[in-house]
Structure 1
Amino acid sequence: MRIRPVGAHALLLDCDDADQVEAWRAELWHRRDAGELTAREIVPAAVTVLLDGVPDPAATAARIAGWRPRNTSRGADSVEVRVPTVYDGADLPAVADHWGVDVPDVVARLRRTEFRVAFCGFAPGFAYLTGLPRELAVPRLATPRTRVPAGSVALAGPYAGIYPTASPGGWLLVGRTDLPLFDVHADPPARLAPGTRVRLVETR
C-alpha cells in the first residue's frame, strides 16, 4: 500500500487489490469512529481509498503508515442485506455460456455466493459487489441498453450489481428485485454501503 497526497487536504491510498481496499476501508472507518483519525470522507474504489477533509495530510499519512488493518476477509462483523431476487434475466444464457455451465448452475452459484459491497459509484445507490471468482468475470454488452429497469440484478467484469434506478447500462442481466436500494429521503439514502455483506436470495 502506498499513500499519496491529493490536493491540500486529501490523501489517496494505492492498494494492491480489492481485499486490501476493504481491509483499509474498514480500518480507517474504525479509527475515525474511535477518534483516532480526522477525515470528512473515506471513499473506497476499485484499488484505492480516498481520505478527504484531512486537516494535516502529512501527519495523518505518517500515522497511517504505522497502522496495520485488521483481518476483514470474511466481513463477519458487517451488516448483511438479503436481496429477494427473481432469476429471470435476459442474459442468463450468455452468462451460462461464458461460464461453461447451464442456467440452473449460474443461478445456484449466485444464490450461494456471499457478496460484499466493495465500493459505490456510477449512479446514486449503485454498489459494486465482489465475491465471484475472477475467472468468472464476464464482458459487458458490446452495445449498452438504452434503459435498464430499476432493480435489475446484473454482472460485469468480476462484479455483480443492482440498478437502483432505471438507467442506460451494459451489464449482463441475470435477475431482478423489488427491494428499494436508494431513497433520497432515507437516512442513509443508500441501502448498500461499502463493507455490507449481500445475499441474492431466490424468490419467485
Structure 2
Amino acid sequence: MFDIPVRRRLDPILDRIGRGLAGRGVRADALTLAGFGVGLAAVPALALGAFWTALGCILVNRIADGLDGAVARAAGPTDRGGFLDIACDFLFYAAVPLGFALADPAVNALPAAFLIFAFVGTGSSFLAFAAIAARRGGVPPSGHRGKAIHYLGGLTEGTETILVFVIICLWPATFPWAAWIFGGLCLITTATRIAEGMRVFR
C-alpha cells in the first residue's frame, strides 16, 4: 500500500549510491546474497532473545535489498538477478516469524505458523499473477519502477511488512497479536489479488 510513495522518495538516493557502487565494480547479485545472509542471521538472534541484534540484521537486509536494485539499474538488470532477489526476499520474510517461534514456542509458534501461512498466500498470489501477466502481456503497469516482474500491489506490501518487523523486534511481547492482525491483513491482500487476477485474466 505504501511501497510506491516510499520508493519515490528513496529511489533517487538509492540510485546515486547504486551508480557509485556499480562504478566500483560491486555486483547486484553479491549484494543480494550478502544481504540475504545477514537477514538469515536474524533467526538465531531472535531464537536467543537478542532482539536488537535481530533488528539490525533485518535493517541491513532491507538496505541491501534496496541497493541491489539500484546497482542493477545502473549496471543493467538481468533475469538471473531479478530471480535471485525475489527468491531471497520471500525466504527472508518467512524466516523472521520462524525466529520468533523459536524464541518462545509455547507463546509464539501458532501465531508464527499463521503469519507464515498468510505470507504464502500473499507470495503465491503475487508470483502467480506476475507469471501469467508476463506470458500474456498487455497488463497495465503496476507503478513499481525498475522491477524484474509485474508487481501487483495490495494492502500489505514490503513497507508494511518491514514496519511490523521493526515493531515486533522493539516490543517482542507484541508478536502474537501483531502476527494475528498482520496475518489477517495479508489474507485480505491475498483475496484482493486473487479477485484482481480473475478480473484481469478473464
Q: TM-score, normalised by structure 2?
A: 0.29
Q: Give the number of the structure whose residues are more often helix, by fraction.
A: 2
Q: Which has the higher contact order (CA 8 A, sep 6+)?
A: 2
TM-score for both structures, normalised by structure 1: 0.29
- The structure with more radius of gyration: 1
Structure with the largest fraction of strand: 1
